[in-house]
Structure 1
Amino acid sequence: MIYILWMLSLLFLYYILENKKKKRINEIINLIDNMKNQDYKIPIKQDDFSILEDKIYKIFIEIVEAKETSNKNSEKQIEYLEDIAHQIKTPITGMLFSIENLESEYPEIENIEILKRQILRLNSLADILLKLSSLDANKDMMKKEKFSLQELVDYALDSFTLKKNIRLEIQDILKENIICGDFYWLAEALINILKNANNRIDCNKIAISSSKNPLYTSLVISDNGGGVEKENMTKIFKRFYKTPDSDGFGIGLAMVKTIVEKNNGEISVRNTENGASFEIKFYNVT
């Protein structure tokens, strides 16, 4: 009888201790959840779990402080980049004005035209840096408005001049397919894709098509400019990566990827029989 009572006492004690342990574990889980919601109050208890609680609290605070420091540094870098770009623009404008005067006075000097092209290239880089700083600074500032893909394509084509020998094929379905996002940033992305095709020597045709399903609406831009080398497939969306034969800055397609992703989409590229095909998927999620 005594043995049975002793066993029951042990079982009861084990039950109490297990319940207490589970309760403290749940309290620690709640503590972590509260800290994720920026509630940094820590309960004052002295038991075997207190040391663990204290360590979790200290590590979490260190992570928060490191994140805040990183965000501040990023914001400063973005400000510096924007500052530099603005500072560059001022002398460039003056140089362009001077070059145009020289052109009119000495039209026979070829080096003036070469110098003008380089200054215009530098001016283009400054514009890109300004766009990048704006894009990086406004991480969660993309507008949400509805518009058709046809409106987007029309605006992009009005803002950018393709080579005269390029034939455009645009599907009528673009008028029907509506997406939600930031119109002007997405137009910027589309312009960069069109520029990529336009810069290909062999390209004389660009086809723009679309499809829709319950999951996403797609926009496909295909060209016949020879396609992308296999070794470059995974690199072309990386910032500042450029192929040896490119005369760009290696920023355009990286910017496209960032813009598309910030508008709840994704972009991919594949080679077709005669060229490259970029597909943007806009997911139907609000």
Structure 2
Amino acid sequence: MAVGHRRLSETEADAAARSALNGPAKAVPAPAAPGGRDAAVDPDDLPDGLVVADETGRVICFNTAAARITATPRAEVLGRPLDQALPLEDLKGRRWWSLTDPYRGLATRTGQPERNLLLPGGREVLVSARYVRTTPAGPVRRVVVSLRGTEARRRTERSHAELIATVAHELRSPLTSVKGFTATLLAKWERFTDDQKRLMLETVDADAGRVTRLIAELLDISRIDSGRLEVRRQPVDIAAAVGRHIQAHTARGHSPDRFFVRIRHRLPQLWADPDKIDQVLGNLLENAVRHGEGTVTIDVAPAGDSDEKGTAVTVSDEGPGIPEESMGRVFTRFWRGSKRGGTGLGLYIVKGIVEAHGGTITVGRGPGGGAEFRFVLPVAAPAYLS
């Protein structure tokens, strides 16, 4: 049972149950805190619902959160059998306590993992249970049940729906262009000059590239969310990587005068995934060029007071910058600083890549008033070299 970031131990759960016998709001003594001071755990202070049944299966604790989640007054359930106080059903309409049978089931069971169940009226609730025994295979002395609302899951579902909608919107435009140009070329090939054909094929190629990049972003998001983003470390020349990106922007028509690169001396050796570092640099420079104004400054320097701490890269512009109230949301999904296009996924991916390297990234206001992004990559080497 969560108290802040801590779960109730078996002893605390029993104490919570005993306290419920003497009244709903008795504080439960917890293990001594550092420094000799005792903490106190009141079941009514818990953010999740807490329901405790004794060895006879009758409810002896029903905290405020449980009453709110189930819409049932505490007085109506204290002393009642657990299956009547919490008449839960699974999604197939089967009675949950009949299926799990905590008191007469296998003696090796320690509880039930969290799952989605239904209260009367079809209200959804997330339920997990723990069976407290005196000895590992002894009879159940307490059943401690945790109840949570489904708001967090629904927020996740809304986030997934928003991701699908964003992807569908971003895919529609390039795919429509690709379909239109290829159909036109196939139907009327002989009517177009070579220059016209080349222009249409270049457009198709560019739009196919947009689709490829979007699919790559989706794969990156999936790996970041699941903690499966792999980093293949090798020596990286960060100064050369910055130079390649500047050349790519100037080749696309941007003036070389718009970029100012400052490479500090005595950079520590950087071991990182070169493809992913290219992705980070590309996203930050694209963000500065598209959404910022004036000169884009790229500063590469040793991080901290010692060269051994890592490499810091700062990208800043002279545009309007990011409002203070928005800086906390910059690295979240779908955040867009302006209406100049983009999926709103780039900075989320950048943060995931930097953190996968063990680094950090921050955002602030640059010397020229625009946005300033600074990421630090620590000194690291592959395991086989350490």
| Same-fold status (TM-score > 0.5) | yes
Q: Deviations over 1:111-151 (max 9, x none)?
A: x99xx98x889656523331123213442422111223213
Partner of 2:352: 258
Are 1:178 and 2:273 an aligned pair? no
CA positional deviation for 1:240 = 1.2
Partner of 2:320: 226
State how 1:94-133 maps to structure 2 within 5 Å. 94-97=179-182, 123=208, 126-133=211-218
Partner of 1:45: 137
Partners in 2 of 1:277 and 1:152 — Cα distance? 19
- Contact 1:149/1:174 (8 A) holds in 2: no
Structure 1 gap segments, 5+ residues each = 1-31, 33-42, 60-69
CA positional deviation for 1:279 = 0.5
Structure 2 gap segments, 5+ residues each = 1-109, 111-134, 147-155, 382-386
Partner of 1:167: 258
Partners in 1 of 2:346 and 2:218 — Cα distance? 14
- Contact 1:165/1:204 (8 A) holds in 2: no
Secondary structure of 1:221 counterpart: strand
Match of 1:202 among 269, 276, 293: 293
- Give the alignment's TM-score, normalised by structure 2: 0.45
Are 1:283 and 2:378 an aligned pair? yes
- Contact 2:364/2:373 (8 A) holds in 1: yes
Partner of 2:48: none
Secondary structure of 1:233 counterpart: helix
CA positional deviation for 1:191 = 0.6
Aligned CA distance change for structure 1 residues 234 and 120 (closer, same or farther; 3 Å) = farther
| Letter paired with 1:279 | R
Partners in 1 of 2:222 and 2:284 — Cα distance? 23
Partners in 2 of 1:149 and 1:223 — Cα distance? 20
Q: Which structure shows the bigger proportion of residues in strand conformation?
A: 2
Partners in 1 of 2:274 and 2:170 — Cα distance? 24
Are 1:156 and 2:245 an aligned pair? yes
| Letter paired with 1:136 | I
Q: Deviations over 1:193-236 (max 9, x none)?
A: 10111114632342333223343321111222232222221222
CA positional deviation for 1:248 = 2.1
Partners in 2 of 1:104 and 1:210 — Cα distance? 53
Partners in 1 of 2:341 and 2:206 — Cα distance? 10
- Contact 1:148/1:179 (8 A) holds in 2: yes
| Letter paired with 2:213 | I
State how 1:29-108 maps to structure 2 within 5 Å. 45-46=137-138, 51=141, 92-97=177-182
Secondary structure of 1:234 counterpart: helix
Partner of 1:235: 329
CA positional deviation for 1:271 = 0.6
Secondary structure of 2:328 counterpart: coil
CA positional deviation for 1:160 = 4.2
The percent identity for this pair of structures is 16
- Contact 1:202/1:224 (8 A) holds in 2: yes
State how many pairs are aligned: 222
- Contact 2:320/2:371 (8 A) holds in 1: yes
Match of 2:221 among 129, 136, 145: 136
- Contact 1:171/1:208 (8 A) holds in 2: yes
| Letter paired with 1:196 | N
Aligned CA distance change for structure 1 residues 145 and 261 (closer, same or farther; 3 Å) = same
- Give the alignment's TM-score, normalised by structure 1: 0.58
Partner of 1:36: none
CA positional deviation for 1:187 = 0.4
